[in-house]
């Protein structure tokens, strides 16, 4: 009898969470291409492909509403155009050897920062951008229910996406702090050992 290789108990939960995070990031990406510029060269990698699929699926739910479906297709066209522009600009910066001091996964510089200079970049990304997208979505409900609802959900995904990154950075900072404390303790023990006090 062949031994069965069962998955760890949390494997399905991890896969489910991975898909949920992928969905959140794709939905957020379909909004933030209009809100930011100068992305890191590797930030958007596969998000654009998933976002296009997401927009098609969402539009499919409203196929019986001609106007709603058309507005989603217009949004899709604008998204593809904006994504292509960002990609071309990234390639242009690369070939022109324009120095890019940002991280390769930098999530882009917020356009709204010019209008709200008293806020930090993190606050703009975490709070102002999602509120802005939410308000735009609410206004668009009057013209196109599918597009308005899409942007309303997108505003929450924007907030969640930035929150997940902030949580990851906080955990990384805590790990670095722990490593620093451990190194200090090891250095102290080493000094005591050298002095014969350990």
Query: pLDDT digits over 187-198, tens only?
Result: 777 676 777 665
pLDDT of residue 136: 95
Q: Residue written as tokens 């080493």?
A: 190
Phi-psi region of 59 (alpha: psi -120 to 50; beta: other; left: phi over 0): alpha
Token readout for 174 is 């805590």
Is the torsion defined by CA of 51, 53, 58, 64 positive or negative? positive
Query: pLDDT digits over 121-136, tens only?
Result: 888 888 899 999 999 9
Query: pLDDT digits over 71-118, tens only?
Result: 899 999 999 999 888 888 877 776 776 655 566 667 777 888 888 888
Q: Residue written as tokens 């507005």?
A: 71
CA 40 to chain centre: 12
Is the Cβ–Cβ distance between 33 and 107 less than 8 Å?
Answer: no
- pLDDT averaged over the chain? 79
Domain boundaries, the chain: 16-96+111-194
Average pLDDT of the residues in 161-176: 74
């Amino acid at each position: 009898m062949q031994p069965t290789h069962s998955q760890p108990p949390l494997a399905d939960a991890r896969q489910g969470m991975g898909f949920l995070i992928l969905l959140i990031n794709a939905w957020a990406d379909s909004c933030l291409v209009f809100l930011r510029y100068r992305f890191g060269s590797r930030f958007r990698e596969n998000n654009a492909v998933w976002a296009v699929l997401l927009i098609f699926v969402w539009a499919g739910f409203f196929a019986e509403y001609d106007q709603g479906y058309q507005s989603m297709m217009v949004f899709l066209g604008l998204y593809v155009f904006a994504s292509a522009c960002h990609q071309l600009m990234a390639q242009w910066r690369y070939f022109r050897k324009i120095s890019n001091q940002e991280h390769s996964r930098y999530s882009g510089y917020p356009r709204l920062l010019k209008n709200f200079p008293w806020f930090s970049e993190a606050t703009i990304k975490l709070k102002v951008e999602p509120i802005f997208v939410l308000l735009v979505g609410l206004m668009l409900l009057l013209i196109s229910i599918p597009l308005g609802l899409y942007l309303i959900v997108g505003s929450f995904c924007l907030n969640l996406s930035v929150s997940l990154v902030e949580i990851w950075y906080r955990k990384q900072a805590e790990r670095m702090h722990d490593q620093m404390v451990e190194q200090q303790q090891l250095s102290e023990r080493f000094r005591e050992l050298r002095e014969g006090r350990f």
